[in-house]
Amino acid sequence: MLDGVASNLEQYMTLLADRQKLVASNIANADTPGYKTKDIDFQTEFQNALHGAPPQVQEVQGLTVKNDGNNVSLDREARLLAENGLRFSIASSLMRDQIKNLRMAIEGGGSGS
């Protein structure tokens, strides 16, 4: 059971890292004429990642396009950075708990009596 949970958390954290790279790229290109914001559909891509498929990057639709053709919204990207950080923190905590539980099981349940 631990292997399944740990594997899912690993896939989740890998997908978060991939999304973080996209957000960083969007921010880096905020002033690049013609640049279009890229992202992934996180829920769909997490399901796909569980089956070994790489994430499919898409251009984000519905954003305001500036005169130079760029549609990066720094507000949106900052929100995604914060959301990603929170998700990664929670996933890391869950992984630490899984490791702690495994360590306690190996050491005999941690009973000191």
The pLDDT score that the predictor gives to residue 110 is 53
Rounded to an integer, the average pLDDT of 28-50 is: 94
Tell me the three state secondary structure of residue 68: coil
Dihedral angle over CA of 38, 44, 49, 54, nearest 10? -40
CB 38 within 8 A of CB 59: yes
pLDDT tens-digit series, residues 71-81: 999 999 999 99
Number of structural domains (the chain) is 1
Give the DSSP per-residue string, 2-65: HHHHHHHHHHHHHHHHHHHHHHHHHHHTTTSTT---EE--HHHHHHHHHTTPPP--EEPPSPPP
- Residue 26 in any domain: the answer is yes
Residue 98: inside a domain: yes
- Residue 62's pLDDT band (boundaries 50, 70, 90)? very high
Structural domain boundaries, residue 100: 2-106
Asked if residue 111 belongs to a domain, the reply is no
pLDDT band of 1, cuts 50, 70, 90: very low
Cβ atoms of 9 and 91 within 8 Å: the answer is yes
pLDDT at 50: 84
Quote the pTM value.
0.80
In a domain, 24, yes or no: yes
Indicate whether 77 belongs to any domain: yes
pLDDT at 58: 96
User: What digits encode the pLDDT tens for the residues 4-22?
Assistant: 677 788 889 999 999 999 9
Tell me if 113 is assigned to some domain: no
